[in-house]
Amino acid sequence: MECRTQLMKTMPERLNKHTFFFPVFRDRMYPGWKVDLGYRALGLFGSRDAPLNYRRLPAKAAARQFGLVQLMDQSRLDSVGVFTEYQYNWAERICLDTVLDAEQCGATVRNYTKAVKLEPLPGRSWLVTLEDMREPGSTVQVRASILINAAGPWADQVNGQAVQNPRKRLVGIKGVNVMVKLPDECHGLGMETISSIGQPFYCMPWGKYHFFGPTEAVFDGNPEDVRVLPEEVEFILNEANKLFPSLALSREDVVYTWSGVRPRTASTGHEGVKSLTIHDMEGDGMPNALTLTGTPIMLHRHAGRAIARKVKQMLRPSQKEKPLSYEAKLFPENQNSPPIDYDFPGVKVADLRHAAAHEHVETLVDLLFRRVPLGWNIGMGLSSARHAAEAVADILDWDEERVTAEVSNYTHFVQENFNPSWPAPVQG
């Protein structure tokens, strides 16, 4: 609740406000009074800037008022908790805004750069070898007084570059989401509940569409190889149909799917714990090294502040503290610039050119998924990919051959990671 208040105050442009529901079914484990207790406790940590506005309505009254509730299984529905929820309008941009903030404060930002070797030096410092992924084999070395490993689900692998068999700090938890089109009266409305196997389960509004999920399953493979499996889609659709039987969702209704791996903190249990943890690696033979696990995006600022406090205890700052702006890094106003895709007028050609010039863009995937939100929208930017690549070609020094390669990589990325239900357009 504190993090959402801060985000609402500092970057409201990156958040969408929605009405959400927590259904109270007669046959489920949470009776109304427990739901009230939970949300009222949560509400105590809210603020006037981002209030929870929680109340509970009888099933019939809620169904009359809200389209999404109407579709819930009325034969089992007792009542509905109603509250205000805020959603990132897309996570990659929040990450980028934060990176640009760090750069303004003096950080050196190196996109597509991988730490490939960590060597402890006398005096508790580190020598880190970095490889430029755009030119495999090309490396540089940097000295560091402190090492912060924030490599998410790769964190254990990265520690393995410094010491043999480091203690396991994380458990990879795979998550899958499934995008569908619900009736128009569900627009802007969402739901959270507990699935039939006791895990959090959401129906999230996404423009004119909604996505259901996520799943939670231990994932031991390489996070880069994670892909959605048919049985995971089946599970999500079944759960959705238990809640909204009249929808009778099937595979034909799926617009696209995606998955990822969360870096949950390791514990004695097989599935780890949902706890943000900063591990001091001294006991593993890695002095002046910290490893972060267990951060959902919503807690990223809290995690950043906690790391900064730890670092302050370990190092004497060489300069005075510089304030972070925390603001969304918006594109300059460009009313006269045409949209790149007329179905999605919010993204202008001028925005792409600004991002290409100032925001560390290397690929078309960077541009359309991580600098502007075209990739995350229905159509996924496939029909305007070539137009977008050509619009920034002069800035990024892309010749005709590179433009074609970028468009082809983009199409492959979308097919591979989202498996959209419509065929990819032929790119001329």
Residues binding ligand FAD (CB under 6 A): 114-115, 150-154, 158, 175, 177, 214, 260, 262-263, 295-298
Give me the phi and psi of 388, to 5 degrees please: -65, -45
- Cα Rg of the chain, angstroms: 23
- Burial of 387 from C-beta contacts in 10 A (0-12 / 13-18 / 19+): middle
Q: Give the span between the Cα atoms of 88 and 355, in whole angstroms.
A: 20
Task: Report residue 61 CA to chain centroid gap.
Answer: 34
Comparing CB distances to ligand FAD, the nearer of 46 and 175 is 175
Residue 296 CB, shortest distance to ligand FAD, in Å, is 3
Residue 354 CB, shortest distance to ligand FAD, in Å, is 23
Q: How big is the CA angle at 99 (ends 95 and 102), to the nearest 5 degrees?
A: 140
Comparing CB distances to ligand FAD, the nearer of 295 and 411 is 295
* Dihedral angle computed from the Cα positions of residues 234, 236, 240 and 245, in that order, rounded to the nearest 10 degrees: 10
Among residues 150, 104, 141, 151, the alpha carbon closest in space to that of 121 is found at 141
Q: Give the span between the Cα atoms of 340 and 348, in whole angstroms.
A: 5
Comparing CB distances to ligand FAD, the nearer of 116 and 248 is 116
Residue 79 CB, shortest distance to ligand FAD, in Å, is 25
Comparing CB distances to ligand FAD, the nearer of 150 and 407 is 150
State both tokens at 382: 């496939």
Residue 386 CB, shortest distance to ligand FAD, in Å, is 27
Q: Detail the DSSP E strand segments found in 35-76.
A: 55-58
State both tokens at 22: 């927590």
Q: Give the span between the Cα atoms of 376 and 360, in whole angstroms.
A: 20
Residue 383 CB, shortest distance to ligand FAD, in Å, is 26
Comparing CB distances to ligand FAD, the nearer of 137 and 317 is 137
Look at residue 181 and give its three-state secondary structure: coil
- The answer to whether 241 touches 203, Cβ cutoff 8 Å, is no
Nearest-CB residue to ligand FAD? 152
Q: Give the span between the Cα atoms of 118 and 286, in whole angstroms.
A: 10
Residue 28 CB, shortest distance to ligand FAD, in Å, is 22
Comparing CB distances to ligand FAD, the nearer of 110 and 358 is 110
Residue 167 CB, shortest distance to ligand FAD, in Å, is 18
- Positive/negative CA dihedral, 353, 354, 355, 360: positive
Q: Which amino acid is at 257?
A: T
- Cα separations (Å) of 121 from 107, 118, 142, 404, 405? 23, 10, 12, 45, 42
Q: How big is the CA angle at 324 (ends 304 and 332), to the nearest 5 degrees?
A: 120
Comparing CB distances to ligand FAD, the nearer of 83 and 398 is 83
Helix (H) / strand (E) element for 97: namely helix 91-104
Comparing CB distances to ligand FAD, the nearer of 42 and 61 is 42
- The answer to whether 118 touches 163, Cβ cutoff 8 Å, is no
Comparing CB distances to ligand FAD, the nearer of 77 and 364 is 364
Comparing CB distances to ligand FAD, the nearer of 190 and 260 is 260
Give me the phi and psi of 46, to 5 degrees please: -80, -175
Q: Give the span between the Cα atoms of 325 and 416, in whole angstroms.
A: 37
Residue 18 CB, shortest distance to ligand FAD, in Å, is 13
Residue 151 CB, shortest distance to ligand FAD, in Å, is 4
Residue 196 CB, shortest distance to ligand FAD, in Å, is 19
Residue 61 CB, shortest distance to ligand FAD, in Å, is 29
Comparing CB distances to ligand FAD, the nearer of 175 and 386 is 175
